[in-house]
Structure 1
Amino acid sequence: KFLENPNVEVLSGKKPYETSGDILIINYDILKAWVGTLLELDPKIIISDEPQYIKTSSAQRTKALKRLAKGRPLTGLSGTPGDMPLEFQNIINMIDPHIFPNDWKYMHRYCGAEFNGFGWDFTGATHVTELHQILTDSIMLRRLKKDHLKDLPDKQYSMVPIELSAKGRKRYDAVYSDFMARYKARIVKLRVELKAKGMDPMDIRVKIKQAMGAKGMVELGAMKMASAEGKLDGMIDWIRDRLCSGEKLVVFATHTNIVDAVYEAFKDIAVKVDGSVTGKKRHAAVVEFQENKHCRLFVGNMKACGVAITLTAASNIAILELPDRPSHLVQAEDRCHRIGQLNALNVYYLLGRNTVDRADAIKLDKHMKVLAQILDGVEPDDVDNLVGEMFESILELEEEKKYDSPLDKEADKILEEERKT
């Protein structure tokens, strides 16, 4: 519209070279190496595609983009620019630093600021309706598929419980028991200390969620892996049954070994795209799935396939493992739910029965509600420390299997024994 026959150039490599393009396209991964050269070219406008990739302030790509964008108009393009208020901060400041000139005040107002005894936790969300209104009134222009792609069929969701194999169940229970033994002991110890100080029970609950969340998250990975490996056979059986319908299917996982195992089980009728598949091979795999009727299964790593590919040949998608971030989930689903999709999209979540998957789903659901509130003004309750919430759900909300969770009684028992001695 603004340039007549523009020369578009895609930059590559970490060693800058002379360029004469009117429009320059560059990957975030090499931006640091090119930022000096780009500054010399003095671009008149910057467009950041998928700005969720510059959410981390300490990342080199973020620092490079901040240098490039300083004093220049910047536009961010994304359906999911972040998951929580903290992740919106960088792109907001790059677009207009006058909206929230004080980072500290922004984090305390909108990021559920809590002091956990070790430092400040800003992983929550507060006053999110206010944040939505400020962004809508200033820099955010929201376009929804339901308003602009009215012929695009809806998504339909199903939760599919998957039994773990006998070996997988034994492995998972061992990992879970080890986790609970250490995690539970830490909770009881902390609860005893707080009760001894006369702290209110509700305050104790909040403090424990804050203090235990960060440590527990590190240990959670082993439990999530055990769940994924334990339900692998069941997931392959489910995929095989689903393919019997004759329809194409897209499946996404987060662990490389799960992606590889599923692909190996169906490699005669499948293609695979993960972080190791790039460039022409990645494009060829997508074309093969889209155009070859005999290629009926697409197996993808969620992070590697979350953007820039179209898989509308399938109207069925299965999430084999839940990601850590709801934006990854939305982007994965939208590989099929886009222009060119003629049928309602069936989305299946394959959750391991009696595993951490349920707690993971609870956490993601809360994240989704916060994201919807920031972007679209939907109004769920304010959400505090979500990591802590997830661990509490492991302890207290599992319905199908009774886990040992009366931690208050154990703390009271220890206190009573201390009083006697």
Structure 2
Amino acid sequence: MSNTLTPEQKRKIEENRLKALARRAERLAQGNPQPLQNDLFSSKQQQHASSPTPQAANNDYFGNALPIPNRHFPTNEPQTSGPSASSKPPEVKPDASKGTFKANSFYGQNQGLTAQPSDKKTPKPPDTSSAGPAKKPTVSVRGKCVPHTEERFRVEVGYHAELIAVFKNIPSRNYDPVTKMWNFSLEHYKLLMEEAAAIPFVTLKALEGMEGLEISASSSRPKDAAALAALMKLCQGWQKPGAMVKGKCTLISRSRLEVDIGYHADVIGIFKQMPSKNYDMKTRKWSFLLEDYGRLLEALNDISAVEIEPLPRAVLQAFSSQFEQSHSKAAEVPEADLSAVDSTLTRSLMPFQQYGVNFAVSREGRLLLADDMGLGKTVQAICIAAYYRKEWPLLIVTPSSVRFTWAEAFRRWLPSVAADRINVVVKGKDSLRSGLVNIVSYDLLGKVDKQHLANPFGVLIMDESHFLKNIKTARCKAALPLLKAAKRVVLLSGTPAMSRPAELYTQILAVRPTLFPRFHDFGARYCDAKQLPWGWDYSGSSNLTELKLLLEESLMLRRLKSEVLSQLPAKQRKVVTVTTDGINARTKAALSAAAKELANGRHNVSLELNCGVYLCMSSLREYISDMLECGREKFLVFAHHKKVLDSISKELTDKGVNYIRIDGSTPSAERQQLCERFQFTHQSCVALLSITAANMGLTLHAADLVVFAELFWNPGILIQAEDRVHRIGQTSCVDIHYLVAKGTADDYLWPMIQEKMNVLEQVGLSESNISDKAECSSFHSKDPKQQTITEMFQRSFSEEDMDESVLLEAVNDWEDSEHTNSRPQENHFSASPSKKRRIEDYFSK
């Protein structure tokens, strides 16, 4: 088939093109107040032939249109001659249905408009400066609330992105894919209407029978939602492509905003008219109270040569009450009723921890608790979860190394929860919903059964929530559906963002999805987004003061140790239970022999230490790795055996972590150099120390965390090792973490240490917090809140009833099953001997 057009096809194409040009001329003539003469194209063109401006304007209207030939528009349609026909423009009638003017159709009418010779120049459009082009009307969305069931209502409304984001933030939401409508519980009717009223151009008709309900906002929303809607409308369409001067508004405090803009006389004049104006001579910027923001922005928008970027929508929502009347201090957080929570827990809360629980309740159980490390985020989270106990089951997602630590914490602080109702997920095949309290690691979260999505958890705790910083990771993809479905979400992290603001977005999305439904809006405002040839770069940072204020007002609570130091004890000790996964039959046999000798009193300390630590080497390394990932820049790790020190050294080297090591082989001349390197480096650094070789004579107070990877039989040595950090020059509370392997010789070593401490304390020769130097006594004075090391040991093990009879019973069970479906691990033991060997043979180096 030939692709050449026939003459008839060419003729029709030309006619259609000319008809289109004629119709465009009719539309342009619509805005011309003068009569359209028959020489519209030729006379106007000749009149302005010498002016380049009309020709340039003409190009904007017609683009690449071809010149009009010297003949009538359609040759096959009748034409009317005479003055009346040639001098009158096409009749224009209003279209009542659309509220705009519409030209009559070109087809089927006796039109007298003809094209005159134009010397092959594009005709100039009529002057429309007086009338201007019609603005596109703002699209508004209207809907209504109707009954759904006896206790629920549904919203019948068209699609609106911001409104859908509000729907997803309502706790009782439910989407019906059949009707494609959302329904909610009646108890959240007022909340939904308040949120929807704050969205510009969205109107929802009240539910029948609730028309008289006053839709007033909470402390974070304005009393008059219409004022917020008007303010948001004022912030729309602020871009002005032809603006000569550009600036932006940023929040600098809870009550004031700052305008960063170049010099413009009219702008300065407006600034001086504002009642709350203030000029900073250092920054050379003007600031104003938030209550003047509306008047200021309205006045600046009237200057065509000035473009001002307004405050983002999230700031308007979070500080809505401030735009009516500015207050420098935040409203007091009401005290929560914790009468239903176990008294064991509520009596143990420090004042700042009590405030953290109150803050969470005031935010309806959705917050990011970003307290500094060592301030008891775990205790606060357990109390918050207990407050919403009626909404359980509870899910806790945590690093794998502290799963059992969370289980121990629940058994200790919530004795009303039976131990068999606490479910720790150990394998991917384990059920995630078999307990009232369910604990799972980030790694296993994506491997467990997906049936939990159909029946979501009511309360969700995400420990170390900065693990979700990358939305593309498997752990984040597995967690986000749970976070969206949960009614209460508590995120815990001492370092929510490790390096850049972009890492905060997923956590903000989990707690308050309506703040920034789109990541680009967040990135453009706070990540200094730049468009590069290959895409957008969000690795920067900008407007950080505003971001901090926004987070604190809407979802985040963060306290540093320096702020609550007066409420803290000098030292905070924590017993961390580590697992001994993968114990094979031969290992169990060795433990059986060790337990028998321990029960008979014939124990060897070095063997006990070997027995406990060699079985949990992987857990020790994993725990130290978690500390590094959690943002601990400097901390001490004490161990006793060379094999343990070597194993940790290898782990740090493989991860590229900067560290120092001091053990018995370190020359005395190098010790001080290593200590100074640790003290004054600005990089992350770990001090790997031998308990016996580095427990005295060293000052390492640049750190505030001490981790004991192994126990030692002498408690005085442990206290001396703690005081490498807790000494003159330390300005923070010191955290002491003892890693203990249950089911090993550690269970006997703790009581032995306790007995030795009791003997020393009875004769007044030892205290848990006594200093090794007299001049430090004022700094290390006995704190009434500080627990003695004896009390800590007693509390940790008295509940376990690990007496000799229980251990010997376990030994018998182990011996009966030592040959059942277990494969020896090469790294622990050699081949099975032909005759029975003593315990020393199993643990000899």
Give me the TM-score of the superposition, normalised by structure 1. 0.46
The structure number with the bigger radius of gyration is 2
**TM-score between both structures, scaled by the size of structure 2:** 0.23
Higher relative CO (Cα under 8 Å, sequence separation at least 6) belongs to: 1
